[in-house]
Amino acid sequence: MIASDVILPNATLGILGGGQLGRMFVVAARTMGYQVTVLDPDPDSPAAQLANTHIQAEYTDQAALDKLAETCAAITTEFENVPATVLEYLAKFLPVRPSGAVVAITQDRIREKNFLQSNGFKTARFAIIEKSQQVATAVQHTGLPAVLKLSRLGYDGKGQKMVHTLREAQQAYQDFGAQPAVLEELVAIKMEISIILVRSADGSMSTYPPSENIHRNGILDIGIVPARIAPALTEVATQAAQHIADKLQYCGVMAVEFFLTQAGELLVNEIAPRPHNSGHFTLDACTTSQFEQQVRSLCGLPLGDVTVCQPSVMVNILGDLWEGDLWHEKNVPDWTKVLRHPHAKLHLYGKQEARAGRKMGHYTCVGENMKDVLTLALKIQNELTSIR
């Protein structure tokens, strides 16, 4: 049964951020019959290419925010680095999901680590550094080697530095501009997994099976679903992610990343208050994608079914595949390497400039047998990279 206060199709939804996550939200929303307005400063925003309206402005532009509030029925965000104060301002006029209070925690590693620790969630040992004099004490607490991470604006391995000595830690902290940071112990990791879940404003929740995440140079390279872990570990990770969402009073799609240590312990790595790269498998392998769930939770609709219909392997496509001019014919990757396979699904993000390490798209392979699916995904990846 659908409540009377839900936001139904033909209403206009607003999204802060116009990258690939916003683009896939736009596709889901427009497919369901909604209008979408994107607020993003980039004139070539991938999401704006498909939206009904693009407000090209900074996220703090007062006139732009007022226009968004006047014309939209609800607001969401595609990434956590939109100032939380912006979300709090918009929430005075219309539903904003997730809330500014939640984003304020998850966009700051120090606040996020303190939240996890104070609520009893297991993490790697960490120490907070807010001034140079605290580096030595932090190193004593975490041990070495360790990883120094900026408290804000780090992603895909950016804003992170491995340190092996006190001197390296001190230098790394200065290289980061002596900005607030977290020093984490270097954990012996067997695997990283992530849980994608969606939670409604009324507390109802649905959770996808975990993704096994393989990284290269700090960027997600391959996601395998379901993760190759014991059912008991899946249950532990799922319950932890759900408890985090409940503690935050979260509304929307959320990802929780975990480290599985060599000792078999699950540690929370970080929280992403949005759809996540490791959840792209839901577009091709599930009854309901994470982006449709984002629309549903934003609009107060019942959540969709999270059944995984087939095993899947998602592979990121980075800008390293291109050379020079993105649109010069000789520099475009040979997409027939993907498209000739009936069990492979290609997703390109419409970005106008290819750079090393930049996420330009992904493909997902699906099938009945995980071994065959993984073999196909790796075969395609090898063929794409070998033509460089």
Question: pLDDT at residue 155 above 80?
Answer: no
Provide the CATH number for the domain around residue 53. 3.40.50.20
Q: Give the model confidence (pLDDT) of 264-280 as tens digits.
A: 999 999 999 999 999 99
Please indicate, yes or no, if residue 114 is contained in any of the structural domains. no
Question: pLDDT at residue 329 above 90?
Answer: no
- What is the phi/psi pair of residue 12, to 5°? -100, 125
Token duo for residue 142: 């975490």
Q: Are residues 181 and 208 in the same domain?
A: no
Three-class SS state of 340: coil
Q: What is the mean pLDDT of residues 106-129?
A: 97
Please indicate, yes or no, if residue 251 is contained in any of the structural domains. yes
Please indicate, yes or no, if residue 102 is contained in any of the structural domains. no
Q: In a 10 Å sphere around its CB, with 0-12 CB exposed, 13-18 middle and 19+ buried, how is residue 279 labelled?
A: buried
Q: Are residues 179 and 196 in the same domain?
A: no
Question: pLDDT at residue 156 above 80?
Answer: no
Q: Are residues 167 and 197 in the same domain?
A: no
CA neighbor of 64 nearest in space, from 89, 91, 95, 39 = 39
pLDDT score recorded for residue 328: 53
Question: pLDDT at residue 331 above 90?
Answer: no
Q: Give the model confidence (pLDDT) of 177-230 as tens digits.
A: 999 999 999 999 999 999 999 999 999 999 999 999 999 988 999 999 999 999
pLDDT score recorded for residue 131: 95
Q: Are residues 180 and 200 in the same domain?
A: no
Residue burial 43-79, b: 16+ Cβ < 10 Å; e: rest:
eebbbbbbbebbbbbebebeebbebbbeebbbbbbbb
Q: Are residues 42 and 142 in the same domain?
A: no
Q: Are residues 219 and 358 in the same domain?
A: yes
CA neighbor of 157 nearest in space, from 190, 131, 133, 192 = 192
Q: Using the 3D structure, point to which of 185, 206, 227 is the last residue of a domain.
A: 185
pLDDT score recorded for residue 355: 87
Q: Give the model confidence (pLDDT) of 232-245 as tens digits.
A: 999 999 999 999 99
Please indicate, yes or no, if residue 341 is contained in any of the structural domains. yes
Token duo for residue 9: 């199709």
Domain count, the chain: 3
Q: Are residues 242 and 377 in the same domain?
A: yes
Q: Using the 3D structure, point to which of 136, 163, 185 is the last residue of a domain.
A: 185
**Cis peptide, bond prior to residue 226, ω within 30 of zero:** yes
pLDDT score recorded for residue 51: 98
Please indicate, yes or no, if residue 60 is contained in any of the structural domains. yes
Token duo for residue 222: 């391959």
Average pLDDT, the chain: 94
State the Cα–Cα distance between residues 276 and 271, nearest whole angstrom. 10
Please indicate, yes or no, if residue 1 is contained in any of the structural domains. no
Q: Give the model confidence (pLDDT) of 338-365 as tens digits.
A: 999 999 999 999 998 888 899 999 999 9
Q: Are residues 326 and 302 in the same domain?
A: yes
Q: What is the mean pLDDT of residues 37-48?
A: 97
Please indicate, yes or no, if residue 244 is contained in any of the structural domains. yes
Q: Are residues 142 and 251 in the same domain?
A: no
Q: Using the 3D structure, point to which of 157, 185, 213 is the last residue of a domain.
A: 185
Q: At what angle do helices 109-118 and 231-248 cross, to 10 degrees?
A: 110
pLDDT score recorded for residue 159: 85
Provide the CATH number for the domain around residue 371. 3.30.470.20
Q: Are residues 171 and 263 in the same domain?
A: no
Q: Give the model confidence (pLDDT) of 287-316 as tens digits.
A: 999 999 999 999 999 999 999 999 999 999
* Domain membership of residue 258 as a residue range: 189-386
Q: Give the model confidence (pLDDT) of 242-257 as tens digits.
A: 999 999 999 999 999 9
pLDDT score recorded for residue 322: 85
Q: What is the pTM of this model?
A: 0.95
DSSP string spanning 291-309?
Answer: HHHHHHHHHTPPPPP--B-
Three-class SS state of 113: helix
pLDDT score recorded for residue 303: 98
Percentage of residues in the chain with pLDDT exceeding 70?
A: 95
Please indicate, yes or no, if residue 113 is contained in any of the structural domains. no
Handedness of CA 224, 226, 229, 234 (dihedral sign): positive
Quickly count helices (H) and strands (E) in the chain: 12, 17
CA neighbor of 151 nearest in space, from 109, 106, 107 = 109
Q: Give the model confidence (pLDDT) of 93-115 as tens digits.
A: 999 999 999 999 999 999 999 99
Q: Are residues 277 and 211 in the same domain?
A: yes
State the Cα–Cα distance between residues 92 and 254, nearest whole angstrom. 23
Q: Are residues 181 and 224 in the same domain?
A: no
